[in-house]
């Protein structure tokens, strides 16, 4: 399973939301950022959540994604 998908699932758990609500959040994030790049919007969302929550699993997934694995960036 790709890291982006794991990040998505962790965010859904962390915020106690449905996958549909996550997709809505991502759409709003992309609209706010003025981009169609879902990976960039996910990155921005994760950074914001890292400031708000101290979640070791989210930290681990984030830093795994930032190591530059190509499959990690595919959201």
Tokens for 9, please give them: 């699932």
**Tens-place pLDDT, residues 15-69:** 999 999 999 999 999 999 999 999 899 999 998 999 898 899 998 888 888 886 5
Q: Domain of 64?
A: 3-72
The pTM score is: 0.78
Residue pair 20/12 in contact (Cβ under 8 Å)? The answer is no
Into how many domains does the chain fold? 1
């Amino acid at each position: 399973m790709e890291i982006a998908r794991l990040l998505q699932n962790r965010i859904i758990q962390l915020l106690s939301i449905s996958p549909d609500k996550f997709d809505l959040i991502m759409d709003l994030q992309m609209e706010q950022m003025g981009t169609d790049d879902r990976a960039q919007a996910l990155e921005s969302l994760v950074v914001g959540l890292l400031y708000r929550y101290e979640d070791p699993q989210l930290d681990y997934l984030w830093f795994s994604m930032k190591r530059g694995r190509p499959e990690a960036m595919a959201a």
